[in-house]
Structure 1
Amino acid sequence: MDSGVRAMVEAVGEARRQLRENALPKLREGGRDRIPEAEEAALLGALAGLVEAVTELAAAASDRMTTIDSRTAYHRVGQRLRDQGRFLREDEQKTAARVKAAGSPTAP
């Protein structure tokens, strides 16, 4: 495997490993308190950032694919991921606005 590709694959694998070993166990622990409302948007933002980074990787890789089929697949994946990242950012903003309004002294 090309050393550049190996580095990409290993970086994605490391991110996946970190999520599975560090983040998921904290969410799955029984008896844990709920995520504070004020922190809900932060987790959506972190997820959006991760999806955006993967989107950049797919977009950059699409330009380097040898076959048209692979270029098309990477391009399509990039579009889908871009949409999901945008949805996450929109949800992050809505959640932050809701939390802000709930904490506002002038909120109904």
Structure 2
Amino acid sequence: MMDSGTRAMLDAVGEARRQLRENALPKARDGGREKVPAAEEMALLGALAALVESAGELAYAVADRISPDNSEAYVQAYRRLDREARNLRDEERKAKGRAK
């Protein structure tokens, strides 16, 4: 039987994935759509950064609750996700600078 806290984490991650696949990806893949305006590009970069940050925070938060055989994988995932979130935040700042 799965712990209710673990089930809640899995459900939340699954729901986020489902929402992205069903709502965001079809819009992104629609070749007939116009270019994303600069202001919206900044918002999208920020939203992606926040999503990646949240995934990293989850990995880090559970790392000490995972078996020693796997805990390092969670810590490494956190570090990589944190680095990518910072990259997205940097690009968001650059886009804001260009828009001024």
**2:23 maps to which residue?**
22
Unmatched 5+ residue regions in structure 1? 101-108
Q: Deviations over 1:24-74 (max 9, x none)?
A: 111112311111122111100000000011111000010111x22211111
SS at match of 2:70: helix
**1:11 maps to which residue?**
12
TM-score by length of 2: 0.94
Instruction: Give, in whole Å, the separation in 2 of the partners of 1:30 and 1:52.
Output: 29
TM-score by length of 1: 0.87
SS at match of 2:31: coil
Unmatched 5+ residue regions in structure 2? none
CA RMSD in angstroms comes to 0.9
User: Which has the larger Rg?
Assistant: 1
Instruction: Give, in whole Å, the separation in 2 of the partners of 1:99 and 1:82.
Output: 26
